[in-house]
Amino acid sequence: MGNLTRQIGEIERHLHKEEIISLAAQNAQTIIENGNRDILSVYVELKRYETYLKGLIDQLKIKALEKAKENGDDKFDYDDAIVRITHRVRWDFSTDSRWVGIHELLKEITTEKKDREDFLKENNNVPTVVDPETGEVVDSFELSKELTVGIAIQL
C-alpha cells in the first residue's frame, strides 16, 4: 500500500484542500487505469487507513489544541495552513418548561411520523378505491422509491 498512498510529510505543504482532493483524484485514476491492482482490495485497505488516520487525529487533537493555544491568537498561519481555535457553546434549554413541552411534542410527532412511514412501506400497494356513485377516486397511492447502491466496509 505504501506506493499507493503518500507518507506523512510527502503531500506538498503549499497545496490547498481542493488541490489535495484533485491530487487524490489523479492518483486514483492512475490506479484504475493501471489495472494491475485489485480495486476492491485497494478500497478495503484505504478504509483501514482512513480508520487509522481518524483514530490518530482524535488522539492528537487535544495536544495539538494545547500547542495552538501557546500562539496566543485564535487564528494564525502555521506550516502552510490556517489554524483556528474554535469556541462553541452548548446551551441547556431544559430549565425552560415551554421548551421542554415543545421538545416532548417534537419527539411524539417524530415517532408518529416514523410509525406512519413504516405503515406506508408495509401497505404500499393500496388498491384504488372508487366511489360507486361519483366515480371519484377516494383512496389510492403507491409510494415512489429510489434505490441507491453503495458499498460498506466493516473492519
Q: What's the pLDDT tens digit per position in 138-152?
A: 666 678 888 999 999
pLDDT of 106 > 90? The answer is: yes
- pLDDT (0 to 100) of residue 1: 55
- Dihedral over Cα of 54, 57, 61, 63: its sign: positive
How is residue 130 annotated by DSSP? E
pLDDT computed for residue 138 by the predictor:
67
Question: Of 68, 78, 61, whose CA–CA distance to 13 is shortest?
Answer: 78
Top pLDDT among 83 and 36 is at 83
pTM of the predicted model as reported, rounded to 2 decimal places: 0.70
- Round the average pLDDT of the chain to a whole number and report it: 89
Q: Above 90 in pLDDT, residue 3?
A: no
> What are the residue ranges spanned by the domains of the chain?
17-84, 107-155
64 vs 145: which has the higher pLDDT:
64
Nearest alpha carbon to residue 3 among 29, 40, 31, 43: 31
